[in-house]
A = this chain, B = another copy of it.
């Protein structure tokens, strides 16, 4: 079955609010194997909503709307549906009672309650457990319209019921399965070149390259009725891709570089000390986003000044003088100093030029040295990252996480 999503709300057109609902629904649909063909955003204008609804129903069988179900004058979704589907709107007494019971303390005006309790005569109601406006499912003339509120936590709660409904109706293909391979250290076009032969031959499973933040993802999607066949086909393709990309693939699906580092450190009982300069705290921030990070993250030093590098990390001032603060020698000393200061097993040192200022003819913006000092091995690598200040910070933190993950 083919689907479209319509997000309704003038605030979405003004850009004040980012439409996260559509992506949420899209993700749920893709797991059900329902193909989404289009998402549209429109303001609170009945005529325009009706027009888009008509267009969507011409093209597809299932339309999901969010927004415009509330109590105010500019909430017009049900009115548009009623017009397009030729359905009378009738006050549902159950809904009225429900809202009165839930909002008894809030003194909601009668008019606002009635407005939200207006339901197209043949529609099913989806109870809203997190708010007042109910959702609706309307099946008519071989088409299905599902309307959900725009408030994300209300919509998300109600999507569970929608998923059950769609599953029972067996609308999805129920034969789709995906696996995401996460790649660090290669750009999108390099990845595509490396696996060009595999990409050329793809049909089922398909491969979709996606550009993530400082990394590339390959999404393998298989469509087969039989679960075992799906898994086997995905596995075969994954193996072929791994042959080409090897270590560049750092993880799969929900794994992130920080989650992998975290679980490796935890498993081995190792403690970490960090010295970061150009990343300015971002590397530590990412590692400490993981719950339980105090088990392996001892301490980090954001050593912006040379004085901090010398006094807190024991980098000899003469070395900084001679080689420069952005040099492999200083990165190595920072890693060792961090390990020692944090009384840790592994030290990480990051120094570079995040830009836009600070470059010299020999040392461009984006130049970053990353050193790891572990018990039995020491590494130091040089990078030149492109992009603005925030990009360079992010990419340097990615690279440091990747190297750290390899070193544990």
Contact = CB atoms under 8 A, between A and B. Distances in A.
Interface in A341-390: 341-343, 354-358, 384, 387-390
B12 A23 contact: yes
Q: Among A18, A25, A55, find the residue whose CB has the most chain B CB atoms closer than 10 A.
A: A18
Contacts of A279: 285
A280 B291 contact: no
Give the interface SS of chain A, mostly helix, strand, loop or mixed: mixed
Contact of A299 (B285, B297, B304): B304
Question: Assembly of this chain: how many copies?
Answer: 2
Interface in A262-304: 274, 279-289, 291-294, 297-304
Contacts of A42: 37-39
A297 to B, nearest CB: 5
B16 A38 contact: no
A37 B73 CA distance: 19
B219 A16 contact: yes
A312 B314 CA distance: 13
A70 interface: yes
A304 B312 contact: no
B12 A39 contact: yes
A302 B280 contact: no
Interface residues of A, number: 100
Interface in A1-53: 10-20, 22-30, 36-43, 48, 52
Given A20-B18, A112-B189, A312-B312, A282 B280 contact: no
Q: Among A29, A37, A281, A308, find the residue whose CB has the most chain B CB atoms closer than 10 A.
A: A281
Given A210-B16, A210-B17, A281 B294 contact: no
A292 B154 CA distance: 36
Given A304-B288, A357-B291, A27 B36 contact: no
B298 A301 contact: no
B308 A304 contact: no
B30 A37 contact: no
A299 B304 CA distance: 5
Contact of A13 (B20, B26, B71, B189): B26
B289 A280 contact: yes
Contacts of A190: 106
Contact of A312 (B217, B286, B299, B387): B299
A408 interface: no
Interface string A90-113: 000000000000000110110010
B285 A285 contact: yes
Shortest 7 CB-CB distances between A and B: which pairs? A280-B288, A281-B284, A15-B26, A15-B27, A299-B308, A281-B281, A300-B302
8 contacts: A15-B30, A18-B18, A37-B42, A106-B187, A153-B388, A281-B281, A281-B288, A292-B357
